[in-house]
């Protein structure tokens, strides 16, 4: 029997259906909340600008820099090439050439660090950048 005759739905379809249902529920909740306020929405375009108060840019920068190690730490642990070690790894292929008596040049010289890296933090340049950013 062909695969398309299977009565089972795929996990992807179920996930999309759940996301669509959640989106509809959020939209209905937002429209109900805006209707409950009773304030006219059309007057918002003609309103005067107001002050947003005292903003401390230094606190904003400190907050962003404080979160940076958590973000770079999570990113540096990711696997850069999920297809590594499989038969369909596109970075495992290479093209090479040799001119006269010069050393041969191959594209694997560029792709090998990414293709064989265990994590983004172990890639030569990116690993140093994530460590410098606090990862």
Quick: pLDDT tens for 62-85. 887 788 777 777 777 788 888 887
In this model, does residue 18 exceed pLDDT 80? Answer: no
CB atoms within 10 A of CB 58: 7
> Across all residues in the chain, what is the average pLDDT?
74
In this model, does residue 99 exceed pLDDT 80? Answer: yes
Whole-angstrom distance, CA of residue 25 vs CA of residue 23? 5
Q: What is the mean pLDDT of residues 39-68?
A: 70
Whole-angstrom distance, CA of residue 85 vs CA of residue 75? 21
66 token code pair: 């404080």
pLDDT more than 70, % of the chain: 72
* β-strand partners of 96: 106
């Amino acid at each position: 029997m062909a695969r398309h005759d299977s009565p089972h739905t795929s996990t992807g379809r179920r996930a999309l259906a759940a996301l669509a249902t959640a989106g509809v529920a959020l939209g209905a909740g937002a429209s109900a909340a805006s209707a409950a306020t009773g304030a006219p929405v059309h007057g918002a375009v003609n309103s005067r600008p107001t002050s947003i108060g005292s903003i401390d840019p230094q606190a904003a920068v400190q907050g962003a820099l404080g979160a940076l190690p958590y973000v770079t730490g999570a990113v540096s642990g990711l696997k850069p090439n999920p297809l590594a070690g499989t038969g369909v790894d596109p970075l495992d292929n290479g093209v090479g050439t040799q001119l006269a008596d010069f050393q041969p040049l191959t594209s694997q010289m560029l792709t090998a660090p990414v293709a064989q890296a265990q994590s983004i933090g172990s890639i030569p340049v990116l690993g140093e950048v994530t460590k410098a950013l606090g990862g």
